[in-house]
Amino acid sequence: MRTSLLSFALVLAACDPPVVQHAPDVDANVDAFRIDSGPLIVNDSGLNDAFVSIDSYIDVGPVPDVGTPDGGVVPSVLHLDGVFDEPIWTANPSNAMQVNNTPTIAPFDSETLTSLYVARDTDWLYFGFEAVFTPGDAVVFYVDTHFGDTTGVYLMGTGLNDNANTVNQVLSLPFTGTVDFEPEWGWGTDTMNVIPTTYTAHIGWRALSATGSFTPLTNYTASMCNGTACEVQTQLIAGLGLVTGTEPINLVVRLGRPGASGGFSNQTFPTSDSGQPETIGPTQISVLPPT
């Protein structure tokens, strides 16, 4: 009897289903850079993953959605191609496209900064421009996200001190400003025909400094230029440090050249007809929030 019970137990054990480990599988949203082993809350290292809560990279498209719940590839507000055909550019009539028709002053010859596009929503700031300029020059943006207070860099006639590259040198050029306009951030490019990127020495955002080197902003933003136009988007709160997305944002745009023979062209926004484009008047470009 004892032998029979033992044999019966062995037969039952042999009939138990084998233990199967959780089989890795690729997500429905096709994360090509890692195999998913279940609904784990981890940081994604590539394309969007349906099980990932926070995506810390630029998604295919590219779509910067840093710090937002990740539920697959999210359509971008901008298709970064240097073509201004997205609805955001006309969503607020107060942010109308602006044109500079002034003849270029020496030594900038036929270089032009002709059109400026600005827009924003609750979380993002967008801007773009159309320009033609020669190697060695740059288009730069000074951005004041706390207009009217003293949290930015005071620039009255002094300029800044970062000469690490062409963009930083143009951002550092001296100009006469107004006490209300104290930018914290700068964006610039000294090249066109660049694929979407967050930052290089040639294109991207900098945190401005009155005394030392600028700090590159390498996340929360994307820039792209074709041969004649650029589009830029950056997250207001995480990227530029706003408390809310409704605070006033003012900006000044310059085409400039570093060095003693350089300076700013009158291809600027706001438009300068005075022959003194190094002067920033009391009125800048105000990017208004959604109405």
Domain boundary among 43, 76, 109: 76
Q: Give the count of beta carbons closer than 10 Å to the beta carbon of residue 179.
A: 11
Instruction: Please indicate whether residue 238 or residue 205 has the higher confidence score (pLDDT).
Output: 205
pTM, two decimal places: 0.74
> Of the candidates 52, 76, 100, which is a domain's last residue?
76
**How many Å apart are CA 217 and CA 187, to the nearest integer?**
9
User: What mean pLDDT comes out for the span 60-78?
Assistant: 47
Tell which wins on pLDDT, 10 or 118.
118
Local confidence band at 146 (pLDDT 50, 70, 90 cut-offs): confident
- Are both 47 and 94 inside the same structural domain? no
Domain count, the chain: 2
Name the amino acid, one letter, at 287.
V
- State the Rg of the chain over Cα: 26
pLDDT-above-90 percentage for the chain: 45
Q: Same domain, yes or no, for 67 and 130?
A: no
Residues 6 or more apart whose CB falls under 8 angstroms from that of 285 comprise 98, 116, 118, 250, 251, 252, 253, 269, 270
In angstroms, the CA 272 to CA 120 distance is 25
Task: State whether 61 and 95 are in the same domain.
Answer: no
> For the residues 71-99, what does the mean pLDDT come to?
81
Mean pLDDT of the 259-278 span: 84
- Segment 85-102 mean pLDDT: 93
pLDDT in tens, 185-203: 999 999 999 999 999 999 9
Determine the structural domain holding residue 242 and report its residue range.
87-287
Tell me which of 279 and 14 has the higher pLDDT: 279
Non-local (6+) Cβ contacts of 162 within 8 A are: 168, 169, 171, 172, 206, 209, 212, 213, 214
**Mean pLDDT lowest for which of 100-104, 204-208, 209-213, 260-264?**
260-264
For residue 119, being part of any structural domain is answered with: yes
* Pair (100, 43) in one structural domain: no
| The predicted structure's pLDDT at residue 186 | 95
Q: What is the dihedral of CA 201, 204, 205, 210, to 10 degrees?
A: 40
The reply to whether 218 falls in a domain is: yes
Between the alpha carbon of residue 140 and those of residues 187, 204, 246, the distances in Å are 6, 10, 24
Rounded mean pLDDT of the chain? 77
Residue 8 falls within a domain, yes or no? Answer: no
Average pLDDT over residues 148-173: 82
* pLDDT score of 148 more than 60: yes
Q: What is the CATH number of the domain that holds 162?
A: 2.60.40
